[in-house]
Chains A and B, each alone.
Chain A
Amino acid sequence: MARQPISEYSAKKILHEYLSFGYEGIAISSETPEATLAQELENKLDQSKKYVLKIDQATKKRAKMGLLKLNISPNEILSARSELQAKGYDKFLLEEFIPHEKSAEKYLALSLTRKGYKFTYSSEGGVDIEDVGVLSEYEENVAKVANDLGLNVEFLTNILDCCYQNHFSYLEINPLVITEGDAAYGTDAKSEAGNTNDLTENIAILDLAVEVDTAAVNFNTTSWNENDYAYPPSDRLVQIENVKKLDLDSPASLKLILLEKNNGIWLLLSGGGASIVVADEVANLGHGEKLANYGEYSGNPSMEETYLYTRNLLELVLASEAKKKVIIIAGGVANFTDVRVTFRGIIKALSEFVPEIVAQNIEIFVRRGGPYQKEGLAELKEFLKKHNIKGEVHGPDLELQKIVNLAVERLD
């Protein structure tokens, strides 16, 4: 696994809590019925205040894509939600709208590098950050960053500590609003708690994006878990969700990304590297626009895991409306993944859909090597032959990328 965005709601809760700031954002899902939501909003919101409703699905450049509803009254929230929902989104975050000057917007990001955390920052933040020159410093120069941004060092050190403790690999605040004098954010929290933390008085974390290191899930220092992960809406097909869950629960790696569900070239690949080579070859041969997915399994998954992975993929293949479909089952020469075991999982899944595969005239192209390749390849070849499924089975004698040539020829 790797870096994974968590929802802005979760990220803000964790960071605000760490900084002893108050946080009153509300996570809203598309599933809450209008009446329930209306009731909840009436109870929680100050009718005289203005609010902002944003998509909370790890989406970048929300402002530019019109995925933020700014400065809306409580009675406009329901319609704003419907509007965003119509664009295919289903997770939202509602916060109080903080009016501020453009000049008060700063940019601050921290990312973990080989040399520790690196600050990337600019005193001109906001939606046009990509056009602005940013500065960067490693964590030992935190004082310089604070000085450049006009911030208290303690505030930045706290954010750094929060990243360490929570295994945030990446944290980006844009904009970080710093106002002088006037309270911009969190004053209520301050007066309630009676603390005199000067920081809360003139700092507001408006938009926050955090990527966690999934390897640290369930560490006892971290305040998040799998439920806090945020996914873009395209990933929400049930089969994709199933594979995601399978991946989370397994020591092996099982990945599946959908490119276009009605395309004809389907990949069932093994190995992080070889899978990229095969997918590249599809694009290199000029068939990129027919590619349906990318995915790979590796790290010696069990037969059961390979079976479930294949079954979810096959459901997607069969549902595709492409006229001609091929499945490329390929991988390099494995070091320790047992080809016989993983192929038995694949065969078990294929055997559940034989009539459909034959009826749709789907062809299967195989290239694989590794421990027990002879047995694995022979069993799969035998299976395809027995059920009159078209295709070819090859070992490492066929160059890895050539299996793609054989498969795409059948598309023309």
Chain B
Amino acid sequence: MDISIEKIRNTKPVLLMIGNHKGIIQSVLDYFYFNGDSLPEVYIVSSSGNFLRYFFGSEEVMLKCFGSVNLIDETAKLKINHVVDFSSARRVEMSFDEISANLPNVMVVNIFAEDVAEQVTVKILNSNYAKNRLILGPASVGLLVPGQIKLGAIAGVSPTQLADMDIYSQGNIAIFSASGGMSNELINFVAKDNSISFALSVGGDRFPVCDPLLAFQLAEEDEQTDCVVYYGELGGDDEYRIVELIKQKKFTKKLIAYIGGSVSDLFAAPPQFGHAKALAGSKLETANAKKQALREVGAFAPDTFAEFLQEIQKFAKTAKTELNKNITNENKAKLTTLLSRKPKDFISTISGEVDGEVHLLGKELTEISQQYSFTALAARMLLGREEISPELEKFTDVVFKLLVDHGPYQSGVVNTMITARAGKDMSSSISAGLLTIGPRFGGAISEAASNWFEAVNENIDPHDFVEGFASKRKYISGIGHRKYSSSSPDPRLVLIRKVVKVGKYCEFASSVEKITLSKKNNLILNMDGLIAACLLDILEQNEKLTQAQIRELIDADYFNAYFILPRTVGFASHHLDQKRLGEPLYRAAN
């Protein structure tokens, strides 16, 4: 057996949560906080954005979020060792396949869904991936290893519950239960005057993926564990297999067991109790028969729950140490901060205030402003990090200068001038100019980037690419100019090409241009198209961004910023120019 509780205790947890189950995920983080750990790596699979906000202690933290298990960063895929799968019952099978295919180093999976089809569970439990791993569920609240991890809803989800009991110090009693509620009931009880070595719920389904026998083997091998407290129910044959295990001396530690369901005998026909497995189909499956069998091999399996609890109490070898009491006292203090935490309205990774000082990209503004020119700073802020390549810095500088203005007859400048001449203020004039930026004027860089990006990464042939647009009678963003043509090229392009090393995006854009030029001589690669292609090449070659990160930038309209920012300078100067000249209100000629 590969998996062991000791291995879990000794491995730094890296978690994946499939589905955004706020309460439970927060409680898992709160457990680490109460335990005195720093924030571990936690990833979430969810369609609700790039990051999800959670708390670590009273601090708000952003957890990285991926659209599916497949899309997780390759390095993270290798690190993840604990998974809670909140997928719905219908998606459990597909989700498990994704986990199996992508996450080779997982030790524990908690499948949370109830109502998973039996055939699906049987398929999962017979899969190769399930071997040598601890797969808890379906319908499981997960695993608790005190001092290390609370994986899932186990032991409660509210901060109050987590602060109230000592589920942090390592003890010698293991708790197993098919029932999530009873796991927690017993955790509460044991934590009162003793400590837990580990606790798990295999789930109340007919075929828990984790054979209860595996749990007993884990307890047998775990040096910390001296005793297993077990809650079982009528139905199934798990307890007989445990009896066999004891007979074969493969489980030799103390077993205190309660088997629920003797009340079943009162009913004329055996009723189906709360858990899917809980139905006595035959005499052997009744609670009383199981208790008897357990007693015969020396387990303590009393008739009443009260006797069961008493025996657990008797087993408490030592009273709680002062140290343990301190843990709970400390946690009560931490709880006060947790109960008053509130989410922030906005979270920014660009800038912030620390003790009244403005910080930009993690440094004090006064410091960073002395390090970089305006353009160099802008390039860094746009990418959201201080570390950028010299290529991007140079490129940004050239583009910003070249795009600062392009004559007074461009639609944006015309709007700016008209507004200035109507007696409006600077911000109105600039806004009026900005409002014209779009697919036909200056604002095609993002769309061109999107086109180049998709075509190159999907290996689309340039001919097919052009044909695709032609057949839909659509313009290709980044291709064509009213004034420039192959016979009178745009001189700005030459300057840009000088500072960029041609990569696959620039190559693709040039191949497209070759084809479009053969149709009409003004269908040249224009500024928008070239800037898009160059930026893509730089982001990939020099900034080493992943495809997913580049896609994010395209969707966020990053590329158009390379026109909007410099041209704003142009608009401002045209506003001032009109004011200086004292131009009157403009009226269009008839």
Contacts and interface: CB of A to CB of B under 8 A. Distances in A.
A294 B206 CA distance: 20
A60 B268 CA distance: 12
Given A112-B122, A216-B117, A272-B278, A335 B155 contact: yes
Interface in B183-213: 183-185, 187-189, 204, 206-207, 211
Nearest to A254: B274
Interface stretch (B156-164, B417-425, B496-504): B156-164
Contacts of A335: 141, 153-157, 180-181, 183-184
A336 B274 contact: no
A270 B180 CA distance: 11
A280 B305 contact: yes
B161 A294 contact: no
Contact of A2 (B141, B179, B184, B206): B206
Contacts of B261: 276, 280
A29 B53 CA distance: 57
Nearest to B157: A336
A253 B158 contact: no
B117 A213 contact: yes
A325 interface: no
B271 interface: yes
Contacts, number: 192
Contact of A274 (B122, B182, B279): B182
A1 B115 contact: yes
A372 B158 contact: yes
B260 A280 contact: yes
A288 B260 CA distance: 15
B89 A273 contact: no
Interface residues of B, number: 64
A235 to B, nearest CB: 10
A372 B156 CA distance: 10
A3 interface: yes
Contacts of B126: 114-116
B179 A1 contact: no
Given A112-B122, A294-B271, A400-B305, A336 B276 contact: no
Given A253-B274, A259-B266, A332-B185, A276 B260 contact: yes
A222 to B, nearest CB: 10
B182 A371 contact: no
Given A271-B179, A274-B185, A294-B273, A253 B125 contact: no
Interface in B20-51: 23-24
A215 B115 contact: yes
Interface string B108-136: 00000011111100100110000000000
A298 interface: yes
B181 A271 contact: yes
Interface string B249-269: 000000000101111011101
A277 B181 CA distance: 11
Given A296-B274, A334-B184, A283 B260 contact: no
Interface of A: 1-3, 60, 112-116, 164, 167, 169, 213-216, 219, 232, 251, 253, 255, 257, 259, 270-277, 279-284, 288-289, 291, 294, 296, 298-299, 331-336, 369-372, 374, 396, 399-402
